A and B are shown apart, each in its own frame.
Chain A
Amino acid sequence: MADLDELYRGIILDHYRNPRRKGTLDGDHVHAEGLNPSCGDEFFLDIAIDDGVVTDAAMDGQGCSISQASGSMMMDAIVGKPIDEVRDIAHKFRIMMSIEEGDNPVDQERPGSVLGDLEALQGVRKFPVRIKCADLAWVTLTDALERAESRT
């Protein structure tokens, strides 16, 4: 039960039910789609990049609370940030989730100080089959950044 309470923290359910920046972008943007064919989760991402900075983003799709909350939190984390910093956030997130190797960058003494709301997703690590849910938005982001790069 404790693990479940940790997994379904209020902040995660809030992002799940009220995803930030839900929708699509008009203007100039890159679009990427992430699919988890085994479970049917979908994550659609639009990002606008101007002069090396992610100036705007929008998400759409459907999926479990973890995949959608992770995406929503990602929106908050990346908009207004230079691409280098966005990549760094993605890297830190993946280390935190044990997807990439490294020492967990999160300061457990000061919750939220490194990755903000995203740190609430740490509870997912206890549920290894769900880690790919949390990663869906970030795989899509990586794809979008690559698309943006190959455009220029």
Chain B
Amino acid sequence: MSDLSALRADFPILAREVNGKPLVYLDSAATTQKPQSVLDAMDSYYKHSNANVHRGAHTLAAEATELYESARGKVASFIGASPDQLVFTRGTTTSLNFIAYGWGLNNLSRGDKIIVTIMEHHANIVPWQLIAKYTGAELVYLELDDEFCVDTSELETLLDDRVKVVAFAGMSNVTGALGPIEILTQAAASVGAISVLDAAQLVPHAQVDVEALGVDFMAFSAHKMLGPTGIGALWGKADLLASMEPTEGGGEMINVVERHTSTWAPVPHKFEAGTPPIAEAVGFGAAVDYLAAVGMDTLRDHERELTTYALERLSEIPDLTIYGPKDVTKRGGAISFQLGDIHAHDIATILDQDGIAVRAGHHCARPLMKYFGVAATARASFYLYNTTKEIDHLVASLHTARGLFGLA
């Protein structure tokens, strides 16, 4: 077993207790915990270099600008990208909205098609529903095969020159299933549509070389990869970002403002209206430094071992149903399940009494829940700081739940 347990000391929150028990944090797909280095970087920025960026000639303004832009460089290089194609946003949701409004609103018309998958997060559904409403375009769904992976067998019949957008998750936050990135990217390209990758769950867990993936746009969030909330990124192909309209206007994003018209600053600043989340950018930079130092291959191996172990242990529990691929090469470390007739919220409450944090509910993926015919699932999700011992605690607590509900 790859031993990353020494890393746990870097995460102050992991030392706390919940309901008198050591915290077992199994909700990293919702948001991850933060290492001391990220907290220190943000603290140090506020203590020593706080100023607005791109706006002043004084020393602090220059330092803040340098810190902000160097964070952009770190995040860009983490995904194998050039910094001038890396836009800081508030997170995945904002990034996807920028694509939907900036590109979709201006390029779609009545009868056009937007292909998404049934396993999308609301963040990659609702913006497209809005664009469909404004333009008269139509939303078309790809469904799943029996292994909970996106079924692309019908793709050929859907593809025609009315398809303008193919938007999909790199990894499902519900089932953990990896998306068929290559197939969908090529499918989009074959009909001149744009490919939009929701990488909120992919970038935190896998080595991503965005240029090699070939997608047109990619979105991700810092808070799911050890960074702070309030910041994320939008990456796009240079020509698309250059031709795309900004969704937000204001300070920082302009070149010249006249009474009635304005011209835009070059990408990425064109998309960064207003004072950006500077400390958060600094924290984001520190987060990718931390991940790079651990190594994404090491991290992936560790998560795969945890996932393998968890799938094995969970499948020993009577009445437990897992909604997701069994094959660990087709998935990441988010495991959704139901236990008999015990509702997911009841499971979460019972586990919480043992200090175990899991997510319960529809996971911002109601269409997927409907597709499964369930109202809610419980979800345990892992990251580099989790251990097999924590999975043992999870399993023991699930047995407690069975007992309380008389399933034993």
Tell me, yes or no, whether B275 is within 8 Å of chain A by CB.
no
Judged by a CB distance under 8 angstroms, whether B164 is at the interface is no
Min CB gap A45→B, angstroms: 17
A42 interface contact, C-beta 8 A:
yes
Q: Are B404 and A8 in contact (CB under 8 A)?
A: yes
Given contacts A4-B350, A42-B375, contact A133 B345 (CB under 8 A): yes
Question: Cβ of A27 < 8 Å from any Cβ of B?
Answer: no
In the assembled complex, how far is the CB of residue B362 from the closest CB belonging to chain A, in whole angstroms?
A: 4
Known pairs A8-B405, A13-B405, A39-B360; A63 contacts B349 (CB<8 A): no
- The minimal Cβ–Cβ distance linking B365 to chain A, given in whole angstroms, is 10
Contact A4 B353 (CB under 8 A): yes
Say whether, besides A40-B361, A40-B369, A63 and B353 are in contact (CB < 8 Å).
no
Contact check, B375 vs A1: say whether CB atoms are below 8 A apart: no
Complex alpha-carbon distance, A86 and B400, angstroms: 37
Q: Does A17 count as interface, using CB distance less than 8 angstroms?
A: yes
Number of B residues near A (Cβ < 8 Å) is 20
The answer to whether residues A62 and B375 also contact, given A8-B346, A40-B366, A133-B345 and a CB cut-off of 8 A, is yes
Residue in A40, A130, A133 with the greatest tally of chain B CB atoms within 10 Å: A40
Given contacts A13-B405, A13-B406, A62-B375, contact A39 B350 (CB under 8 A): no
Smallest Cβ-Cβ distance to A5: which chain B residue: B404
Q: Shortest distance in angstroms between B37's beta carbon and chain A's nearest beta carbon?
A: 32
Q: Which of B302-341 contact A (CB under 8 A)?
A: 341
Contact partners of A8 in chain B: CB under 8 A: 346, 404-405
A75 in the interface (beta carbon within 8 A): no
List of A residues within 8 angstroms of B350 by Cβ: 4
Q: Would you call A146 an interface residue if the criterion is a C-beta within 8 Å of the partner chain's C-beta atoms?
A: no
A93 to chain B, nearest CB (A): 20
Q: A114 in the interface, Cβ–Cβ < 8 Å? A: no
Cβ of B343 < 8 Å from any Cβ of A? Answer: yes
**Distance to closest chain A CB from B100 (angstroms):** 22
Q: Which residue of A is nearest B341, CB measured?
A: A17
Does A7 contact B361, Cβ atoms closer than 8 Å? Answer: no
B376 CB within 8 Å of chain A: yes
Chain A proximity of B319: nearest CB distance (Å):
14
Give residues 191-223 of B contacting A (CB, 8 Å): none
CA distance A130 to B348 in the complex (A): 11
- A38 to B404, alpha carbons, bound, how many Å? 25
Supply 19 A–B pairs (Cβ within 8 Å), ascending by A: A1-B353, A4-B353, A4-B404, A5-B404, A7-B349, A8-B404, A13-B405, A13-B406, A38-B361, A39-B345, A39-B360, A39-B362, A40-B362, A40-B376, A63-B375, A65-B346, A65-B405, A129-B349, A130-B349
